[in-house]
Every structure is written in C-alpha cells, then in structure tokens.
C-alpha cells in the first residue's frame, strides 16, 4: 500500500489512532423486515416488492418475528443486554433507492446494548472492545449506475433489497490500530456465522462495514475529528483503508491543517480514500417514533425461548475441544473457525479411537487436499466414516503416514471414499519382526555416529533410525512394530 506522504516512524509514533466501527448485517429471514416479500439476494429487478416496501401511501408495516429472534440471538452472542421494550423510529432522509423518504430504524431505545468482543492486541494479549448497541433497521434498495446501454446518462433503481432486515452493530471507539479492526471484524463474523442469523457474505453485501477514524497526539485528552470510511467490501481492504486514513490525517495535522468531518470512499485500485460528502449530524435525521409500529416487547419468557437456539460459541468451543479431546490450542482454534468443520471433527472424534489423530489428519492431510482442488469440506470425497477409518488404521500402526498420504491422494484424484480405496489398494505392510529387525541391524551398522549419540543420551536419535528403515522398506514397515524394535535394539 502506498504510504501517504512518506511520514517517518517517529512522526507516526507521536499519534494515537482511535477507531470505532459500524457494521450492518443482513438477517437470513425468509421474508423482509416489515412485509411478506421474499428476502433473497438478486432476482429480476423489482420483483420482490409490494406496496409496503415500495413505500406506497397507506401501506402499513408489520414486524417480522423471525427478524426479532435473529436480532436477539446476534445480540446475546456478542454479550449485549436485551432491552425488554424497544422503539422503532423513523430516520428521515431522501435517497432515490429509499422510496418512503425515511428508514425504519431504532434510535434512543435500541433492542440491545452494552456488549463486547475480545480480540488480540498487538502483543497477542486479550483486549476487550465495547459494543455500544445493536439495533434493528431495514435496508434500502440499490441504485444501479452501470450495466445498461444508457448507463452513461441514466441510473436505474432496483428495490428488491428494500426492506431487508438488518442489524447495525456499533462498537465503542476502543480500537487503536488497523490490525485490531481486522481482528474485531474477523471475530464478529465468526460469531455471527455460528449463530446462523446471517451468511455474512461481503460480496453480496450481507455484511458491510463503516469505520470512524480519528487521530490525536498521544498525551491529548480529547479525540480528534473523525472521518468515516464507508462501504469497503473486504476485511483486508478495510485494514488497508484504515491504515491509509490514519496516515492521511496525521499528514494533514503535521502540515498545519485540520481534519474535516466527512465521509470518505476507499479506492482499492489506487490504495487511497476520497472525500465523498461532508457528514451530516445525527439530529439532521429528525428521528421520531414510528407511528405505525407499536413498541417491541421481548419479555423474559420469549428471550428464554429464543436463546435455546443459541449454539456454543467459538470461544467456549475452543476451550472445550482442548480439554475434552486434548487438542493443542492451535488445532482447537483452527477447528472452531468454521462451525461445520468443528461439527465434522467432533462427530468423527466420537467414533474414532484417537481424537488427536482425527484432528491431525483432518487439519493437515484433508484440508490441504481440499484447498488444492478448491472444494469445501461438504464436497470432500472422504466421508466422516472414511476419516474415522483412516485415523484408526494410522493410530493402530496398520498403515504408515506415507501410505495414508498415498491412499488419500487416490481418494481425491478418483473421487472415491477412503474405505473403497483402502480395501482395493490394501497397502503391503511388513509386520514380520525378523524382516524389520534385519533392516534395523543394517541401519545401525551403517550409522555408528548416530548410535554413539543415542548411547550418549540423545534418545531422539531413535527417530533417525525409524526414518532410515522406513526408507529402506519403501514406507511399508509397520510403524508401531518398527518404533518398538528400534528402541529395543538401540538399548541393547
């Protein structure tokens, strides 16, 4: 990324960036927030519409119950308190793709407040990022500025998205670097995906992020003036945009200027932000309670009922996988980044003799091959039973790790499950102890220096002899038998 004005590290170090995020998340409900229209990405323009989401006079909104339940689930998953009685308000502004002339949102009484996320800071330590509020609102339609023969002179409007249920999640200005922004968003997305309330697909706009960025001198008491970087469509770009914006603002101040409160757009091709419009103040929206919707009451009983659908969240699952299956922190972390991967592991781990073996085969051998052919776990040729069989055979020493790799290669090139390939190819395995002993003797005779090291107390050298015999046997020596015999021979 091009630096702004080549600011020196000394100058950058004088300033403290302060960042807060507003994240809009579309909810995966069947219908829209206030009408019965299909809530679905895409479709022929203006086909998922009705008088209510078109904002025709006299049409009345009716709140979608599923949207409320999803909002509560999302809020609880990020540690928020639920407000028993929340109020919908009109946020008034004109936008061509918002035909009512206002957006139904929540203002001073949102459905949830006071949450938090824990993210790693620069040193890797846990840092708590406050979440001010989570409120419900509706999405606007879309202005289509290109893709038509007369796009040079006209803009088209598609109102299919109009009225899609959203939650907006507003963080406290607790973030201090572009990396923390990246970590926060990654964590937030991971949690929301676990709850199943959104697909968080950034390319289709189901998760969108605006970043409020300001800088101040490190000993300053007050935050600087903030600029808002809007609608960046990947976490990587948001990190780059925030990084750029921090340096731009420091450059402005160092040049004796002042930062202007405004909205800015990120141009990824150029690696910089551009001024879009000066930012209106919140009171310009003339919020007032939506007269067509009664207060939303989510009582204790309903909350309890909703929360039965709240799954174990990634953080808790990570800790449990470590303690329950004896996995390393790293393996437990990788297995929980994706709920489906974690579920697949746990189902296999319950059937297999060694959960650790399952984790290692799944995370290295299977994941690597899935990545190489660019398919998802759901399309893997190796089924759950196949993984269990592979793990059990490897654990029992009936196939070597080299043989396992060959069998899995065949599974992926032929698109067959592990059980089929294994019973067809049943790798030759030498378990005859006298044959293995002979090979060990040969290896010991050929490597006196390593024998001396072993005798001198460096017992890890045993692995060297195991490797030599494996090579000599073309990977066919039974590893369990081999390991045992090598130690026995060396100790003799």
Query: Interface with Zn ion by CB under 5 A: which residues?
Result: 35, 37, 50, 52-53
Max CA pair span of the chain: 95
In Å, how far from its chain's centre is CA 1?
24
Measure CA of the first residue to CA of the last residue in the chain; give whole Å: 62
- Min separation Cβ 103 and Zn ion, Å: 15
- Min separation Cβ 206 and Zn ion, Å: 18
User: 89 and 289 in contact (C-beta within 8 Å)?
Assistant: yes
Return d(Cα 214, Cα 217) in angstroms, integer: 11
Considering beta carbons, is residue 1 or 56 the nearer one to Zn ion? 56
- Min separation Cβ 53 and Zn ion, Å: 3
- Min separation Cβ 51 and Zn ion, Å: 7
Return d(Cα 309, Cα 345) in angstroms, integer: 21
User: 28 and 198 in contact (C-beta within 8 Å)?
Assistant: yes
- Min separation Cβ 168 and Zn ion, Å: 21
Burial class (CB in 10 A: 0-12, 13-18, 19+), 63: middle
Considering beta carbons, is residue 52 or 476 the nearer one to Zn ion? 52
Taking the CB of residue 422, how many other CB atoms lie within 10 A of it? 22
Return d(Cα 202, Cα 206) in angstroms, integer: 6
- Min separation Cβ 54 and Zn ion, Å: 7
At residue 109, φ and ψ (nearest 5 deg) are -130, 75
Considering beta carbons, is residue 161 or 272 the nearer one to Zn ion? 161
Residue 238: name the closest of 262, 261, 209 by CA.
209
Considering beta carbons, is residue 78 or 140 the nearer one to Zn ion? 140
- Min separation Cβ 65 and Zn ion, Å: 16
Considering beta carbons, is residue 35 or 348 the nearer one to Zn ion? 35
Token pair of 420, please?
A: 């089929």
Considering beta carbons, is residue 4 or 53 the nearer one to Zn ion? 53
């Amino acid at each position: 990324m091009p630096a702004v004005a080549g600011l020196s590290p000394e100058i950058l170090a004088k300033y403290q960036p302060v960042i807060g995020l507003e994240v809009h998340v579309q909810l995966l409900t069947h219908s829209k927030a206030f009408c019965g229209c299909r809530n679905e990405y895409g479709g022929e323009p203006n086909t998922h519409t009705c008088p209510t989401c078109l904002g025709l006079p006299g049409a009345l909104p009716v709140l979608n119950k599923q949207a409320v339940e999803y909002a509560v689930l999302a809020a609880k998953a990020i540690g928020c308190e639920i407000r028993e009685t929340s109020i919908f308000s009109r946020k008034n502004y004109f936008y061509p793709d918002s035909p009512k002339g206002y957006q139904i949102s929540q203002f001073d009484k949102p459905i949830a407040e006071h949450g938090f996320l824990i993210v790693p800071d620069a040193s890797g330590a846990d840092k708590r990022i406050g979440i001010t509020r989570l409120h419900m609102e509706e999405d606007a339609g879309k202005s289509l500025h290109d893709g038509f023969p007369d796009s040079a002179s006209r803009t088209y409007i598609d109102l299919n998205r109009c009225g899609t249920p959203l939650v907006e999640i507003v963080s406290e200005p607790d973030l201090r670097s572009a990396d923390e922004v990246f970590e926060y968003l990654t964590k937030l997305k991971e949690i929301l995906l676990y709850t199943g309330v959104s697909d968080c697909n950034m390319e289709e706009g189901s998760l969108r992020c605006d970043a409020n960025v300001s800088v101040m001198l490190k000993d300053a008491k007050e935050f600087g003036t903030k600029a808002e970087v809007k609608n960046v469509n990947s976490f990587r770009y948001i990190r780059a945009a925030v990084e750029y914006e921090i340096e731009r603002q420091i450059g402005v101040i160092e040049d004796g200027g002042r930062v202007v409160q405004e909205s800015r757009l990120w141009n990824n091709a150029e690696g910089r932000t551009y001024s879009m419009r000066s930012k209106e103040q919140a009171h310009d929206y003339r919020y007032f309670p939506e007269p067509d919707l009664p207060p939303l009451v989510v009582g204790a009983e309903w909350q309890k009922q909703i929360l039965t659908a709240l799954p174990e969240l990634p953080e808790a699952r990570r800790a449990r996988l470590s303690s329950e299956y004896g996995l390393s922190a790293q393996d437990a972390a990788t297995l929980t980044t994706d709920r489906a991967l974690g579920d697949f592991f746990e189902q296999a781990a319950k059937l297999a003799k060694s959960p650790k073996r399952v984790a290692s085969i799944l995370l290295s051998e299977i994941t690597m091959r899935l990545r190489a052919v660019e398919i998802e776990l759901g399309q893997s040729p190796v089924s759950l039973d196949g993984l269990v069989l592979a793990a059990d055979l490897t654990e029992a020493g009936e196939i070597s790790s080299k043989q396992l790799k060959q069998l899995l290669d065949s599974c992926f090139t032929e698109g067959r499950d592990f059980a089929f390939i294994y019973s067809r190819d049943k790798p030759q395995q030498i378990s005859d102890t006298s044959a293995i002993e002979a090979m060990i003797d040969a290896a010991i005779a050929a490597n006196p220096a390593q024998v001396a090291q072993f005798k001198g107390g460096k017992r890890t050298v045993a692995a060297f002899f195991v490797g030599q015999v494996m090579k000599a046997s073309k990977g066919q020596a039974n590893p369990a038998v081999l390991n045992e015999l090598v130690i026995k021979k060396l100790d003799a």
